[in-house]
A and B are shown apart, each in its own frame.
Chain A
Amino acid sequence: MINIDVTSLYDDFESEAKEHIETIETAFLDISALVGEDTLIDGVFRAAHSLKGTASLLSLSEIVKVAHELENVFSRIKDKDLTVDDEMADVVLLSVDTLREMVNNLKNSDTIDTSELMEQLKTYSVVYESAKISEVPQIPFDLNQTEIKKLVKSARKRGRWIYYLNIDFNRSLENYYEHPKSLIDEILSVGDILQGIVNDVQLDNAAPSWTEVISKELEKHDTSVLSILMTSVLQPELLLIALELNEKSVYSIPEAIEVKEATEKKIETKVVSAEPSAPSSNKSDFTIRLDISTVNGLMDLANEMILTRNQLLSFLSGQYMRSIHGLSPVLHDMNRLTSEIQEKMMLTRMQPVQTIFGKFPRMIRDIAKQLKKEIRIQIVGGDVALDKYLLDALSDPITQLVKNSADHGIESAGSRMVLGKQPEGLITLCAYMRDNMAIIEVSDDGAGLNEEAVKRKVLTQGMVTEEQLLTMNKNDILQFIFLPGFSTAKHVTNVSGRGVGMDIVKTNIEKLGGSVEIDSELTIGTTIRLKMPLTLSVTRTLIITIDSVGYAVSESNVERIIRISAATPSRYLEQVANSVVLNLDGWMIPVITMEGLDAKASGREPPLAQELISRVKGQEVIKCLVLKTGSRYFALLIEDALETEETLVKPLPLYLRNCRCYSGVTVLGNGKAVMILDAEGILKGSGMEGVIKEDFFEENKLDENDLRQIVIFHCSGPECFAVDADRIAKIERIDREHIQDIGQEQFVNIDEKTVKVIRPEDYVPVQKNEYQKKWLYLLRLKGAGPATGILAGKIVDKVNETFILENDFVENNCVLGTGVYGEKILVFLDVTEIARVTDTGVGRYKQ
């Protein structure tokens, strides 16, 4: 333990300490929530305690002092001896700041003057202080003696505990008084004695054995004090039981002592019966801190593994697969595992926006105090996950915006009252995803930006002429506030107003490829919207193929997947001039093909519309993706839509920057690198306009479930059923013979869990036959209720399709409607209704 690299110890302490400090800070920011919340108070107490513990290890005496005092204050709160009030919260937060300052500057932390703070803290902690001063015994052994040090170290390495036994032979040894030998034997049976002292006489282990030496020495006196330094694998509680000693005679020596020994010649022990000897924070059991490069390295490895897997698969496919029995399931499993590993790895870099939002409540509290305003902060969408890199870059701009809102946006309570507003101002931080963008909004319900003031300012600074100003709209004018050196604030305050902030915000956001928008109404408030591209962040994409080549397209751009076949007379392709349009229920949507885009890019003649139409007419089914960019819609001819996948968007390689129809690249779970289609770029590249219709699809939507991923299956009869894939947690293969009847119901055990089996035939007017096959399928339903699953004889397919449901043919509560899929008619089951009926038994269909 002694040869530990000190720098890394300091680093570890720094990050750990920051966590503890944050815990305390968060708790005291909202004292109304803290009062009476025992778990929270416990939490801060532990934080202070751990902080003190670790700091003392590193001899950071000033931090220890402050943490110790805080611990005392918290302990009094814990014991209901002290109630939390505003004033106290201020003192605690002040200590938090001081601690943070010290932690940030560990090497010189002792030079920071804490005397004033200590005075303030002592006013809260002093009672506790006098009540609980306990004496710790001095260890009579020199732990720094080379021999002992070596022994202790090697014992620690083997996971042993080090104990100091202090046994007074007159009082505590009833059992052994006559036979001190048996005590020593007991001790030797549970551990090793490192050193023994009887009445200040140090004993040597030279002569026959410890038992002999010690008992000999003990026999010399009537009363004597025996001190033993020993190691044992037993925990303190067990050692007490094993030796039948009372807890005042056994002390566990914490590891800390040995490290401390090296720097400070002071010995301290800890009573066994007190807390566990190693200071450990509760959190560390659940989270670990990792260097980002480790994560990146793991991610690269996961990706490489996928590549290797694919190569293996391609080598083995064909004859080998068949000739090696049992190879296929193993490969299948490996396939799944590697994909899962890669997906999980991609998510490790993601962190919730809350990590940067989290600091604002404190900041607002301080600013509000400083400016004498009443401000509340509201956080929405803190769980939106963004790449760590993006988060780091966003932290400063958002801080600036929040400061601006608090300082210039929110008015003083007095002027708010005059305007008929609540005296308390509200700042809202909101994060969400839209159109392939991560959007972060900082809004306030304050004064709003004064357009006229901005105008006057730009005129006086000579940025534009009056004529130019007349041609500008409001948004253009408001954008001026992002220019360097622009501030309409009358006074420069501590918080902001020097006109550098907004300029930096805009530059930083644009550096990241984002943009800034402002909405502002005088006296109503201001919203500043940061739109960030999702480069290096996870987004849900739909994986499609065009000419057997895979592509990803952001789900937010996909409006619908359209199937065109002879069975859908309301949608077909038509030629208008030399382009193809999709007639979708009377709406004409331009159709773009990848072939056409490619031809255009390389200067070839694009395929003729007529050719295209006749070609697709030859096929049975054509699929189109209706994509939207802004308010424009267009259709892209695709081969197939496969699945949706969470993908990590990477920037376009340098050599593909001129391909405008892509927004980035990504590696799919199967290890393939694919391009991510960019709807806007495709539309631009095609030279087409796209149809503009704001609420085009809202009007036309027959059913909100029109576009869905469904699982198609057969039960015992010939009917084809469909359920929403969203409602299914898992599809399990079960043995027919494992299904057991209990009363009217049927159940099956899966992984030691009982799952209720639902047969759709019992709910819907269809044929019900007995199954003859051995293997059946159970579609496990999602949901919090009792575990249930739908029994299916055969799983036909899982498809992404657009369905228009007819409700005229089957009248039954458990049926959503019927839809056409190829040749087949699908019966869409209403899983929610079926689950309800199963639970209540009401409405069950009688055969």
Chain B
Amino acid sequence: MRGLSFFFNGQCYVVDVSLVEKVVRKMEVTPVPTASGGVVGIANIKGKVITILDLSELTIRERYAVPQKLVNVIVFKALANHSDQIGLVADRMGDLIVIDENKIAAPPFHEEEAFYIKGIIVIGEVVYRMIHIDAIINRFKTVNEYDTDVYQHADAISKEEQ
């Protein structure tokens, strides 16, 4: 299994390269105010509008200020059941590494906390955090579904009031 490594907020991560469609450097991202934390914005790739996420909400628990307008983005392939593609912001792209699947260690912390990390790989002195992209997508999806319901509920209430 081969992994694509990248750096975000000073930490090193790795994703399964077979899930990656392409890497776009210096991509122009259009910010989307009012979107839930973690959504950096949207971008046009091959005519498809994809949502660009970053790990800030998950790692540093606050809104990550996009350091510049042009960012490096790892675009993921459309996953089964998700027609909308996503891209993940990387501060800096790393190397392509070969991962021995037997050597992926379970994350040494509470699962709830780090649901987005599949495991830890140590190669030499570098610690790679393996990203669980499915979990991240599902998280964003549920956040949005939940909120939508809240809105519908609010709508229903306001209608009753009228």
Do B42 and A675 touch across chains, with their CB atoms under 8 A apart?
yes
Q: What DSSP secondary structure best describes chain B's contact surface?
A: mixed
Which of B26, B31, B42, B82 is in CB contact (< 8 Å) with A314? B26
Name the distance in Å between A126's Cβ and chain B's nearest Cβ.
59
Q: Which of A670-706 contact B (CB under 8 A)?
A: 671-675, 685
Do A594 and B33 touch across chains, with their CB atoms under 8 A apart?
yes
Question: Contact residue range for chain A?
Answer: 35 or more
Closest to A603 in B: B37
CB of B43 within 8 Å of the partner chain:
yes
CB of A658 within 8 Å of the partner chain:
yes
Do A657 and B44 touch across chains, with their CB atoms under 8 A apart?
no
With A314-B26, A550-B30 already in contact, the answer to whether A656 and B45 are too (CB < 8 A) is no
CB of A602 within 8 Å of the partner chain:
yes
CB of B10 within 8 Å of the partner chain:
no
Which of B34, B48, B84 is in CB contact (< 8 Å) with A655? B84
Interface readout for B128-162 with A: 1 if CB under 8 Å, 0 if not? 00000000000011011101100100000000000
C-alpha gap A665/B45 in the complex (Å) = 13
C-alpha gap A737/B23 in the complex (Å) = 53
CB of A94 within 8 Å of the partner chain:
no
Do B47 and A303 touch across chains, with their CB atoms under 8 A apart?
yes
With A311-B26, A653-B42 already in contact, the answer to whether A667 and B49 are too (CB < 8 A) is yes
CB of A194 within 8 Å of the partner chain:
no
CB of B118 within 8 Å of the partner chain:
no
CB neighbours of B50 from chain A (8 A) = 653
Do A674 and B30 touch across chains, with their CB atoms under 8 A apart?
yes
C-alpha gap A744/B32 in the complex (Å) = 59
Do B151 and A310 touch across chains, with their CB atoms under 8 A apart?
no
Name the distance in Å between A35's Cβ and chain B's nearest Cβ.
50
CB of B122 within 8 Å of the partner chain:
no
CB neighbours of B46 from chain A (8 A) = 300-301, 303-304, 307
C-alpha gap A75/B52 in the complex (Å) = 65
- Chain B residues within CB distance 8 Å of chain A: 26, 28, 30-37, 39, 42-51, 53, 63, 70, 82-84, 86, 140-141, 143-145, 147-148, 151
Do B32 and A667 touch across chains, with their CB atoms under 8 A apart?
no
With A665-B49, A672-B44 already in contact, the answer to whether A655 and B30 are too (CB < 8 A) is no
Do A656 and B32 touch across chains, with their CB atoms under 8 A apart?
yes
Which of B26, B84, B145, B148 is in CB contact (< 8 Å) with A653? B84
Do A650 and B49 touch across chains, with their CB atoms under 8 A apart?
yes
C-alpha gap A674/B30 in the complex (Å) = 6
Do A667 and B36 touch across chains, with their CB atoms under 8 A apart?
no
CB of A784 within 8 Å of the partner chain:
no
Most buried by B among A314, A653, A656: A653
Closest to A675 in B: B32
C-alpha gap A675/B33 in the complex (Å) = 10
Which of B36, B39, B44, B141 is in CB contact (< 8 Å) with A671? B44
Which of B30, B83, B141, B151 is in CB contact (< 8 Å) with A675? B30
Do A655 and B44 touch across chains, with their CB atoms under 8 A apart?
no
Do B147 and A655 touch across chains, with their CB atoms under 8 A apart?
no
Interface readout for A583-614 with B: 1 if CB under 8 Å, 0 if not? 00000000000110110111000000000000
CB neighbours of B34 from chain A (8 A) = 597-598, 600-602, 659-661, 685
CB of A627 within 8 Å of the partner chain:
no
CB-defined A-B contacts under 8 Å, sample of 20: A300-B47, A303-B44, A303-B47, A303-B48, A304-B45, A598-B34, A600-B34, A601-B33, A650-B49, A654-B144, A655-B35, A655-B53, A657-B147, A658-B147, A659-B34, A659-B35, A665-B42, A665-B49, A672-B44, A675-B32
